[in-house]
Every structure is written in C-alpha cells, then in structure tokens.
Structure 1
Amino acid sequence: MVRLLLILALVAVVFWVYSIVDCAMQPSTRHRGVSKGAWVLIVVLLPVVGGILWFTAGRIGKRAIAARRAPDDDPEFLRTIGSISDQDERIRRLEEELAQLDAEAEPDSIPDVPGETPSGRATPQQPDDEDDSR
C-alpha cells in the first residue's frame, strides 16, 4: 500500500511540475480566461487540480490557433466592410472631383511666345544689370 501511495505521489509531483513548466512556457496568446501569471499561480497553488484546470480550460490547442484566418479570408470581417457598389460610388465621386480640379487648374490658353500672357499682353521685363548706366 505504501508503494502505491509513493508511486501516486511521484506521478502527482511529475504532473504538477510538468503543468507549471507547460503553463510558464506557453506564449501569452495561447492562454484562455485569465492572464498567464494568474494561470501559473493557479497551477502552483493547486498542485493537481490546477494542472487539470490548466489542461482542460486554460490552454488553447494548436488546432484552435491554426483555425484563425487572415482578414480577407474571414467571413465575419468581410461582412463588416462596405459593399462593392458603395466602393464604386465613392470612386466615381472622387473621379468627378478630380476632373473638376483639373478643369479649374488648366489655363484658358497656353502662350506661344515667351514673355506673353494668355491674353496677348507682354509681361514686364526685369532690367538687366548690364543695362544700368550709372
């Protein structure tokens, strides 16, 4: 009987140490419920029960992490963004605004002769330094 109790105690201690190490080594993204520090305290303060709780309720398996999707593959995310017709309407409005800005920025005519304005008047010339006869 004593041998059985010693073997059970040894198995409990090994399970307890393994639970502590597993909980401490997991990244913070693989904990469910409370924070990583709280899980370590639970496992340390409740030796066998804390380890059982950790493996059943606190640890997120690799399958759950692999099931996560990129935003463009996630149907929930895709439902939150606007419909294609909304995007098409916005693009159409932006193109109209751009065309209006281009029309406002274009001059009436482009001068052919340097030094003339589009109205045909000559622009005042700056005197050259060589022409100063002082």
Structure 2
Amino acid sequence: MPRVLLIIAVVMLTVYCVVEVAQSRGYRVRAMPRWLWAFAVIALPVVGPVSWLLLGRPLKHRPQVRGHRAPDDDEDFLRGLH
C-alpha cells in the first residue's frame, strides 16, 4: 500500500508540473527553455518535477507601490477639483 501511494504522489506531482510548465510564459521561465523543462519533467520522474519547482518556475512578481499615492494625497489633483 505505501508503494502505491508513493507512485500516485509521483504521478500527481508530475501532472501538476507538466500543467504548470505548459501554462507558464516562455520568457518568464528560468534556467532552460520551456520545452526542455517539459521534457525534463516528463522524462525524469522525481528529479524533473522537483527541479522545475526549485529552479525553473517563474518567480511571482509583487506589484510595487513605489510612487503611487491616493488621489486625496495629491495636491494637484485636489486643486483640479475646484
């Protein structure tokens, strides 16, 4: 029974990573081209998906709120309301 659960876990991880590789944008993928990641994830059962998760998947970009302010904090905006 533990062997079956391990095989199911590896298959689920591989399917998840294949779908994630297919949905990622090619220019955001790190370290290798997207088609090579897809091949590695499919051909190398555990090493491929783990490598994708650690080295290949695109980094999540957080929106930066550097010079943005609320409209009521902008004096020019408030002057234009009158």
- What's the TM-score once normalised by structure 2's chain length? 0.70
Give matches, 1:29-108, under 5 Å.
29-63=27-61, 66=62
> Contact 2:41 / 2:48 at 8 angstroms: preserved in 1?
yes
Structure 2: any 5+ residue segments left out of the alignment?
Answer: 68-82
1:29 & 1:17 partners in 2: Cα distance?
22
- What's the TM-score once normalised by structure 1's chain length? 0.44
Post-superposition Cα deviations, 1:15-54, rounded to whole Å, max 9, x if no partner, equal 1111111111111122011111111111111121100000
RMSD: 1.8
2:35 & 2:42 partners in 1: Cα distance?
11
Identity %: 29
Q: Which has the higher contact order (CA 8 A, sep 6+)?
A: 2
Instruction: Give the count of matched residue pairs.
Output: 65
Which of structure 1's runs of 4+ aligned residues deviate more than 6 A?
none
The structure number with the bigger radius of gyration is 1
Which amino acid is the alignment partner of residue 27 of structure 2? T
Structure 1: any 5+ residue segments left out of the alignment?
Answer: 74-134
1:22 & 1:60 partners in 2: Cα distance?
10
